[in-house]
A = this chain, B = another copy of it.
């Protein structure tokens, strides 16, 4: 993150700072809420934040295995469930994968732009998109509880590299 939260992650930004900031915010948030960000949960969050590309649960599982020996699926899934409940990560439905949330303080669903070449994903929270959806829901009499907005394609860098 570090300032480019809610934009497409640039190729060369200080990602160590992203990770550090994400972990700090997670600590603060959990403290405020009286929730326990245990070592395991913190490790999983750190792994999710290892890049700006969504991470699969079994990738995380394997990486986690390096840090601690032998880890079973429920270990990772439970941590992911906690992190999701706290709004610290989002699940990308179209990829069966997870990504860190740059603005965990506010509850939201976000819109995800995901590049199929470099794998990077940008989370945005564009009011205009939400409002267009809300208007339609109102017209239908539909009460929205959960939103999934995922756009896949090519990011600017990858499209330019293509040509």
Residues of A in contact with B (beta carbons under 8 Å apart): 7-8, 93-94, 111, 113, 115-116, 122, 124, 126, 128-129, 131-133, 135-137, 140-156, 159
Contact = CB atoms under 8 A, between A and B. Distances in A.
B113 A141 contact: no
Contacts of A126: 132, 136
A137 B151 contact: yes
29 contacts: A7-B140, A93-B150, A111-B133, A113-B137, A113-B140, A113-B142, A113-B144, A122-B140, A124-B136, A124-B140, A126-B132, A128-B135, A129-B132, A133-B151, A137-B151, A141-B155, A141-B156, A142-B151, A143-B159, A144-B151, A144-B152, A144-B153, A145-B152, A145-B154, A146-B152, A146-B153, A148-B148, A148-B151, A149-B149
Contacts of A93: 93-94, 148, 150
Contacts of A156: 140-142
If over half of A's interface residues share one DSSP class (helix, strand or loop), that class is named, otherwise mixed; here it is mixed
Copies in the complex: 2
Contacts of A145: 116, 152-154
Nearest to A109: B151
A148 B94 contact: yes
B150 A148 contact: yes
B132 A8 contact: no
Q: Which of A122, A132, A151, A155 has the most CB of B within 10 A?
A: A151
